[in-house]
Chains A and B, each alone.
Chain A
C-alpha cells in the first residue's frame, strides 16, 4: 500500500503571529497553559499547512479554551467528546490538519472511551493532553491522573483512585505516537509537537502542566530546575539514554527491569546504556519508559513513533477503490437495482 498524504502543504511562510487570534487569553496568570499555547503557535508555521486547513477541536476545561486563541478554524465542543468530533471532521475532509486539545479529566475520565478508540484506529489526529492532575475549571477535584492519596476537594481523606499514566493508556490502545514534555520547557514542547504533526496517524503529546491555583507544584518534584536534570530524561531516537547535569547517568536494562547506572562506576561504560529506538514496533520497552518515575527519571521527548497505516489512509483507499470500481455510479442506479417492475 503506497503511503499517501492528505493535508496539502503550502509555500506560504507563516510566523507565530499569523496563528495568534485577537481574543483575550483568559487563563490565570502563571498558568502552564500560556506556555503550551505559545509552543503550539510556534509549531504551526513549521508544519507548512495553510491556516484555513487547520482545525482545533477541544472539549471542556481550562485547556479546552485554546481554539479561541488560535486563528484557525476551531470547535470548542462538549466535555470529553473532542476526539469523537475531531474524528468526524477528519473523515468528512481528510485535507484538514486536525488538532485535539484536552485536559486530563476531559480526555481520560469523561472522554476516555473516545480517546482510546481514536488511538486504536490510528485516526489522523494531533492530540495534546494538558495534564495538571486536577479538575481546574470546577475548582479542584481529583482527576484520573491525580496522585494516589492526594487530598483534594472531593477526596478530603486522600484519593483512593489509582491514577492513569497517559503513556501506558496510549501503548495499551496500540498507539503509534506518544511524547511527553513539560509546560516549562517550551522548546521541547514545540519540538515534540512538530514531530507529532509529521506523524501519520494518532499522535498523543502529554504536557505535564502546572495549575498554580488548584494543584500548584504537582510536577515540581521533576520540574524544579534544581532537580530536573536528575529527575527527567529527554529521549532522542538513536541515542543512548543519558541524563543528569553532565549526562553522566544512563538507563540500563538488567534483564528484568530498567535501572539507573552511572558511567564510570562499577565498570559501566557508554556501551552498557540502552539506545532509544522510538520506532520499535513492540510496545514493551516504550511501555517501560512511559511508566518511569519514582527512582527512575520521568521520560520526556518522543517515546514512541512507529509507522502504521493511518485510519485516514485506509478509509480513503477504500473510498477511492469503491468510487472507481463500485457497482453504482449514481443514486438512480441504486434505486433501480435488483427486482423492479413497471406498472
Chain B
C-alpha cells in the first residue's frame, strides 16, 4: 500500500462479534494487547451473553468485544468504526453499534440459508441501502481458513476455531499494524502445540494478505495516533478484576497482614477469585466456600484471626452476605467486600453492567449498620481502590464495600505499574500483647477505631460477636450503652472523612451545569464534558469515588452550581443519597438501566438540553 492512502485518526473503535464459541473475546484481547504494545492508549469492553454456548448461529449466542484505541482513551467508545461479524446473527444484532459509514467485515461463508433463518432473516440482509450506508466487506473467512487447515492436514474442528485469526489479520491490515506481537503471543500460548501455532499464524497472515489484495478497503486504512499524554513509566494492559485482585495483594504485602479471600463463584466477579487463587506464592489464602454466606463468614473468621480478609461477589451474592456484613459491623473487624455490580434485581442480567447495588451497599443491613463504601472508576484504578479499601478497613477497623461493575471488571485498560513501596503506608491497629488496659471496644480518640487483638496474642483473650457489647467487652442490653455504641460505630465511619482527600471539580469553574458521576461511568462522563468544554459549553464535572463517607467539601461544591445533573446506571440511587444530605441543592437525574454503559453522545445530548 502507498503511505498516502493511510488516514490518521486520534481514535478508532473496533467491535468483534460472533458466536459465543467463535473466539471474539480472544481476537479483541489480542488486538488490544498488540495496540497497547505499539504505543496506543486502549480501553476494552466485552459484551457477552450469560450462556456459555447459546444455540449456534442465534442472536442469543452473539458475543461481542469492543476495543477503543487511540492517543487518549477514557472509555471503550460509543459506536464502532469497524465491525467484524462472523455470522448473520452477529451482523443482525451488532450493526446498530456501527457508525454510519463504518467498515463491516462479514464472513460471507456463514450467510447460508439455514444461518440466515436462525438469525431471523427472511430476505437477503445486504440491501442496496445497507451497502451504500456501510463499506461491507464480504470476506470468505471460513473457506479460506478451511483451505489452510486442509493444506496443513488439520482436522476441521480445530481449523474452524482459527477463523477469528483471519478476521484479526484483516483488522491488523486495516489499522496498519504488524503481526509480530500476535505471532509471539501464539508461540507462547501454544508452546506445546506447534501445529496449532503454525495454523493460527498461517490463518492470521492469510487474513492480512487477503485485506492487502482488496481494493475496496484501501481507502479505509487508519493509523491511530500514539498515546502522547501518558505519564512516563512502565505500562501493562489490565482488566478491572485482575487489578482488584492485585490491589488486595499489594495491600497485604504493604500492611504485613496475610491476605485471605473467601468467595463463591458469581458472574462477573469470579475472576477476582480466579486471579488470587493463582498467587499462593505471594501468600494469598483463597478459600472457595460452599456458598456466598460462607464466603463472607470465612472472611470474618479470618479477620478475627488477623488476616486482611476479603470476599468478592456481585449483587445477588451481596444480598446473601447482608446478615454477615452486620456481624462485621458489630464486631468492628476489618473486611473488604468487593461487589462487581451487574444488572439486577435477582439474577437480572448477569453479564451486563449496572450501578444498582449502591443502595444495598449503603443500607442493606438490619439495624444501624454504617460502613465505608468506595467505588472504582476505571478498570486500571480498581487496583488503587482495592488497595484503598483495604487500607481503610485495616486502619479504621470496619468493613468496607468496594463497588466496581461488570464494565470495569471485564473491561481492560492501560495500567501504569507502581512500585509497592511507593504506595501509601498501611498501619493496622494491632493491640499490644499483655496490655493490661486492653479493652475490646476501647477506641482511638481520633479515628474511633478499636484495637485488633489476635488469637494467639498473650493476655488479650476476649469474645466478640453479634450481640451488643459494652466498651469493656462483655454483653450489655443497657439502653444507654446501646445508644452509645450505635453512635460510636457511626462516628467511626463519619470520621473517615478526615482521612480522605477533598472532592475535585474538572472543567469550567464558572459552569452553568455541574455533572455528577460516581463509580464506573467516569470514562464516558469525562469525555462528554471535555468535548463540551472544547465546544465552548460551560459544563463542570465532579466524580465520586468516596461514597460513604463523602468528602468533606461535597456540600461546598454542590452549593456552588445552579444546575446539577447526577448521572448513574440505576434509577437515581446516588441522587437520592445526595438529596438526603444536601436537600438545598437543585439536582436532577440522568439515569439508564439497560445493562449498558453510558454513551458519550447521549450524555452530551442531555447536557445540552439542560443548558439550553
Contact = CB atoms under 8 A, between A and B. Distances in A.
A114 interface: yes
B492 interface: no
A326 B331 CA distance: 36
A158 B500 CA distance: 60
A271 interface: no
Given A322-B280, A322-B281, A340-B417, A92 B456 contact: no
B461 interface: yes
B173 interface: no
Contacts of A60: 466
A85 B327 CA distance: 11
Interface stretch (B159-167, B303-311, B538-546, B587-595): B303-311
B297 A343 contact: no
A256 interface: no
A88 B455 CA distance: 13
Nearest to A93: B305
B490 to A, nearest CB: 21
Interface in A60-114: 60, 67-68, 71-78, 81, 84-93, 95-96, 113-114
A93 B302 CA distance: 8
B461 A331 contact: no
Contacts, number: 206
B122 interface: no
B291 interface: yes
A57 B461 CA distance: 13
A301 to B, nearest CB: 30
B285 interface: yes
Interface stretch (B232-240, B400-408, B549-557, B570-578): B232-240
Interface stretch (B246-254, B265-273, B424-432): B246-254
B226 to A, nearest CB: 9
Nearest to A116: B290
A282 B265 CA distance: 33
B237 A75 contact: no
A92 B467 contact: no
Interface stretch (A31-39, A48-56, A140-148, A240-248): A48-56
Nearest to A332: B420
Interface in B203-253: 227, 230-237, 246, 249-250, 253
A18 B260 CA distance: 32
B279 interface: yes
Contacts of B280: 318-319, 321-323, 326
Contact of A75 (B262, B281, B323, B464): B464
B470 interface: no
A81 B297 contact: yes
B455 A89 contact: yes
A60 B323 CA distance: 13
A91 B301 CA distance: 9
Given A71-B461, A334-B279, A339-B237, A78 B327 contact: yes
Given A328-B279, A331-B282, A343-B227, A73 B462 contact: yes
B306 A331 contact: no
B250 A331 contact: yes
A interface bracket (residues with beta carbon within 8 Å of B): 35 or more
A67 B293 contact: no
A87 B293 CA distance: 13
Contacts of B285: 91-92, 315, 319
Contact of B455 (A55, A81, A325, A341): A55
B456 A85 contact: no
A59 to B, nearest CB: 10
A339 B327 contact: no
B418 interface: yes
B290 A114 contact: yes
Contact of A343 (B233, B258, B326): B233
Contacts of B458: 52
Contacts of B230: 343
A342 B234 contact: yes
A92 B294 contact: no
B461 A113 contact: no
Given A85-B301, A93-B306, A323 B281 contact: yes
Contacts of B298: 84-85, 87-88, 91
B327 A95 contact: no
Nearest to B250: A331
A88 B287 contact: yes
B279 A88 contact: no
B466 A77 contact: yes
B596 interface: no
B304 A340 contact: no
B282 A328 contact: yes
A335 interface: yes
B260 A117 contact: no
B232 A343 contact: yes
A53 to B, nearest CB: 6
A253 to B, nearest CB: 35
Contact of B301 (A52, A57, A74): A57
Contacts of B237: 339
A128 B262 CA distance: 24
Contacts of B324: 78, 81
29 contacts: A23-B474, A51-B461, A55-B455, A67-B463, A67-B465, A72-B461, A73-B462, A74-B463, A76-B463, A76-B465, A77-B297, A84-B293, A84-B298, A84-B301, A87-B294, A88-B301, A88-B307, A92-B303, A92-B305, A114-B297, A319-B280, A323-B281, A332-B419, A336-B236, A339-B236, A340-B234, A340-B417, A343-B231, A343-B232
The 9 A-B pairs at the shortest CB distance, nearest first, are namely: A326-B281, A88-B301, A76-B465, A88-B298, A84-B297, A322-B280, A92-B302, A85-B301, A74-B463
Interface of B: 33, 36-37, 39, 227, 230-237, 246, 249-250, 253, 258, 260, 262, 279-283, 285, 287, 289-291, 293-294, 297-307, 309, 323-324, 326-327, 331, 417-420, 454-467, 474-475
Given A77-B465, A81-B293, 15 more contacts: A67-B465, A76-B466, A78-B327, A84-B294, A85-B304, A88-B302, A89-B304, A114-B290, A321-B280, A325-B281, A331-B246, A331-B420, A339-B36, A340-B235, A343-B230
